Structure 1
Amino acid sequence: MNKEEPVTPVGRLFLQEEGNQVINCIINAKYPINIESVKAEIKNSIFIQHPRFQSVLVRDKNGREYWKRGDINLDKHIFLIQDIDHGDSPSDALSDDEIVNAYLADLTVSSPLNDDKPLWELHILKDQNCVVLRIHHASGDGVSLMSLILAMCRKVDQPDQLPSIPGNNTRISSSSSRVNMREIILRLVMKIWLTIVYGTGFLLRSLCLKDAKSKISGGHGVQLWPRKLATARFKFDDMKSVKNAVLHATINDVLFGVITSGLSRYLDYHQTSESKTKEGLQITGIAMVNLREQPGLQDMSNLVKSSSVTSWWGNKFAFLLLPIYPHKNVGNDALQYVKNAKDMLDKKKLSLEAHFTYAISKLAMSLLGPKVTYFLNNRVFCNTSFTISNVVGPQKEIMLGGNPITSFRATSSSLPHALTMHMVSYAGKAEMQILVAKDIIPDPQFLAKCF
């Protein structure tokens, strides 16, 4: 990488003052964390060698942003957090998870990263055996950052080996790939039609089309409202069992079925006499979709080379709009939530919606600049109801600096949505962080139970 590198178009969006986005990754350790050991581990890791995390953000006289290489002072990046408030009285004492979530909820609203140093920080919550890695979204997305974090870790059962993430090993046999010309044409026509329909829907969301008001609706300015954070936990084997019960389903189908079911329960619980009539209520979510050709753990050994950085590092994701109908009758078949989700997601995957939204954002950046593009993207968030993302982590236990990791979680800075959900799977479990605007959704723990 050169001494100076322009910030990518998507990265420039995350640098807008109104939408400064930080990814917060929560890593729980099995044993107490020694701050000096952590410093030594980082100093000798590939993390500190990565050009992006040695670089300070600078702006030229024309307002263009660049990454400029500089020296790292770890004391400016690593903070020891102790004696966090445990509650007003012994009866109000919070668990370690609740303390960490409360700490993170405050960070998501009021604590941007200072741009006088590389845009990352490490907060060590000593009493909770927890590390919070905060990285600016302009530096990279969840998939690239997960790869970077795991490059600093090792397998517990094989300390000399890097962790691995399961990839997509699906293969189509030669017999099943024989399709006639009519099927190919029909599929192509459907792909074009769905792309036009979903692409038009995305454009309308950036202009005027808006979800009806509900108990989870956010809107412009809600990103500045105080937050609460709760955790929903699932066993990965349970999710696999549900997946196997629906033909050709995926974990994402199961996750979105869980989201639909949980939001339906939550809205039914809070419904008023007025909302009972809204049988056709549609709530639209925004999902983040990885556009890399090779999802999963990347080879971090080559990341110090500019060719590797520009080929896949950074923000390589797009948006999908995912509509759900909370009051849609599913009868006595709970799996119908997953079947409905699968039908909808199959059409989304057949279309080129994700590539369309990515191309439109890049085109808008080129023609209109980051401020107007941010305004249009922000309109999409203001006109929808929630955000959902899912990052796959290693399925075997790993360790950082010889300390086994018991939990991976993640959340981001607050958005105009009153509800943001980020799920990370690790070592046989999946944990979803539920970030809410507490004046709109005051009971995120109850929402977690609904899921």
Structure 2
Amino acid sequence: MEHQKINMESLWSDDEVPVSPTGQYFNSSALSISVLSVLESEIPIDDSPTFVLLNDLFLPINPRFSSIMVKDNNGVKQWKKVDVKLQDHVNVPTFPEGKSPEFYDACLNDYLSKIALDLFPPGRPLWNIHIIKYPTSNAAGSLIFKLHHALGDGFSLMGALLSCLKRCDNPALPLTFPNFQMKTDLNEEKGSVCKSLTNAFSTVVNSASDFGWSLLKSSFLQDDQTPIRSGVEGVELLPMNVITMSFSLDQIKEIKVNLGVTINDVLTGVIFLGTRLYMDATSKESKNGVSTALVLLNTRNIGGYTSVAEMVDASAVEKQWGNQFGFLHVSVPELNGKECSNPNQFVYNAQKIIRKKRDSAAVFLTGKLLETVRRFRGPEATAQYIRSTLKNSSMTISNMIGPLERMSLANHPIKGFYFMVVGVPQSLTITMVSYMKVVRIAVGMEKGLMDPQKYKSCIESAFDMIYKAAPSI
């Protein structure tokens, strides 16, 4: 079966289409944020079909991949269709020949840091691909997509990329994803009038508190300078290290069942505990410094997705495509004797904080604030506010759900994949994606500030501590 081509040209009847507000924020004088998606091939890469695949599969997914961002006579940014010169978007770097996989690990890391800092040339669509033909410790070759965040969020961009891939076991069948359903405490407690009134009052109070704190964090209150936050102005312009680690989804589910929490609660608790362990190992004085994580949320009005076709369905493009997310300010719990003796407390703390903030209207109110700022002061001022929000916090955490089946691209089986958000004015960025019952955590960190291997060891130790403690509950 051939790949399904998603024809979206009919959605763009005019030559120019307005850029969404979030798209304008992410490609402004204050911010330029992109996503690096890395596909790891099990076999050496044959790049001969590259241009055919890009022309026949990638470009038709969405007109934005064949468009540039321009300003109209009123200064409003628009997407304008252009002729794409594919050779300008394909890069095949050359490294020294005949070296060890560990040598090419370092080459790949340096290359990721380099392209993270590279700006997209004006007059070209906002994407590039990079083909690494050298074997690393994880793969026989790597394919890197760099996609500007103005094109869409992780949900949109993952749908775009995965629509170019097939299932290894049966190419005629679509890639599928774990099904998930959103539940709310309000539905569970619907039968109790008293509880409903109590919840309503609690929501109002929490919304006011969370929104007020978020406003202060975005405007005035900065996190402490710690081993995970340098506080340097322009940190997004500094070199970075990227490391990854893998965890068994089955083991994560064991913790989830034993503790009665969600998979996201487990992963967030592991990251929080591992981060505090790293801070403790690096500097006793600042191990419990004020540190805030921005946890990204998908705000689409959907219950989930089960296939790639649903992610990029042209008939539902307004619901599916673009940047549709919010963020929660979550304080990283402190590390003390109680948490060391009971590491599961970090999971419970993560669950409690995130559930409380999810149940408030802070995300909605923040969205309204951004829209108000944009309306009266313009998108550049709004982008500056978002930049301040990021800069004043210590880290960003985002996650995606990946396919259950092994996938392939042009008959190249994909051993693993991960993504990294770059251009963010923070010293630490963490992303997570599931694939074939494995959760891959990728960490981008300011080079020279953090020790990559020490941080990785601390995250792995945190997972082991929580996994071993969970059965006792």
Q: TM-score, normalised by structure 1?
A: 0.90
**In 1, Cα distance between the equivalents of 2:156 and 2:388?**
27
Corresponding position of 1:232: 245
Q: 1:365 aligns with which of 374, 387, 393?
A: 374
2:69 paired with 1:69: no
Residues 270, 400 of structure 1: CA spacing in aligned structure 2 closer, same or farther, 3 A cutoff?
same
Residues 409, 331 of structure 1: CA spacing in aligned structure 2 closer, same or farther, 3 A cutoff?
closer
Corresponding position of 1:390: 399
Corresponding position of 1:318: 326
Give 1:416 shift: 2.0
2:443 paired with 1:431: no
2:124 paired with 1:106: no
Q: Contact 1:105–1:227 at 8 Å: present in 2 too?
A: yes
**In 2, Cα distance between the equivalents of 1:395 and 1:131?**
20
Aligned residue identity for 2:353: M
Aligned residue identity for 1:121: N
Residues 256, 136 of structure 1: CA spacing in aligned structure 2 closer, same or farther, 3 A cutoff?
same
**In 2, Cα distance between the equivalents of 1:171 and 1:450?**
32
**In 2, Cα distance between the equivalents of 1:212 and 1:241?**
35
Corresponding position of 2:6: none
Corresponding position of 1:137: 149
**In 2, Cα distance between the equivalents of 1:237 and 1:195?**
35
**In 2, Cα distance between the equivalents of 1:301 and 1:118?**
25
**In 1, Cα distance between the equivalents of 2:37 and 2:125?**
17
1:298-309, aligned counterparts within 5 Å?
300=309, 305=314, 308-309=316-317
Give 1:222 shift: 1.4
1:406-421, aligned counterparts within 5 Å?
406-421=415-430
Give unpaired runs (5+ residues) of structure 2: 1-11, 136-140, 460-473
**In 2, Cα distance between the equivalents of 1:231 and 1:432?**
5
2:235 paired with 1:222: yes
Cα deviations by residue, 1:212-258 (Å, 9 ceiling, x for unpaired): 232212333211222111112212122111111111x1111011111
**In 2, Cα distance between the equivalents of 1:171 and 1:319?**
19
Cα deviations by residue, 1:70-104 (Å, 9 ceiling, x for unpaired): 222221222222326898xx7xx735444322211
Q: TM-score, normalised by structure 2?
A: 0.86
Aligned residue identity for 1:41: L
Q: 1:252 aligns with which of 261, 264, 272?
A: 264
Q: 1:121 aligns with which of 128, 151, 154?
A: 128
Q: Contact 1:199–1:356 at 8 Å: present in 2 too?
A: yes
Residues 6, 242 of structure 1: CA spacing in aligned structure 2 closer, same or farther, 3 A cutoff?
same
Q: Contact 2:30–2:380 at 8 Å: present in 1 too?
A: no
2:152 paired with 1:151: no
Cα deviations by residue, 1:40-61 (Å, 9 ceiling, x for unpaired): 2222215434211111222224
Cα deviations by residue, 1:168-226 (Å, 9 ceiling, x for unpaired): 236799x9565211111111111111111111011111221122232212333211222
Give 1:125 shift: 0.8
Which is worse superposed, 333-342 or 217-226?
A: 217-226
| SS of equivalent residue, structure 2 residue 75 | coil
Aligned residue identity for 1:74: L
Q: Alignment length, in residue pairs?
A: 439
Give 1:312 shift: 2.5
Give 1:325 shift: 2.4
Aligned residue identity for 1:375: Q
2:59 paired with 1:50: no
**In 2, Cα distance between the equivalents of 1:347 and 1:450?**
27
1:194-205, aligned counterparts within 5 Å?
194-205=206-217
**In 2, Cα distance between the equivalents of 1:339 and 1:179?**
26
Residues 342, 95 of structure 1: CA spacing in aligned structure 2 closer, same or farther, 3 A cutoff?
farther
Corresponding position of 1:352: 361
Give 1:435 shift: 1.0
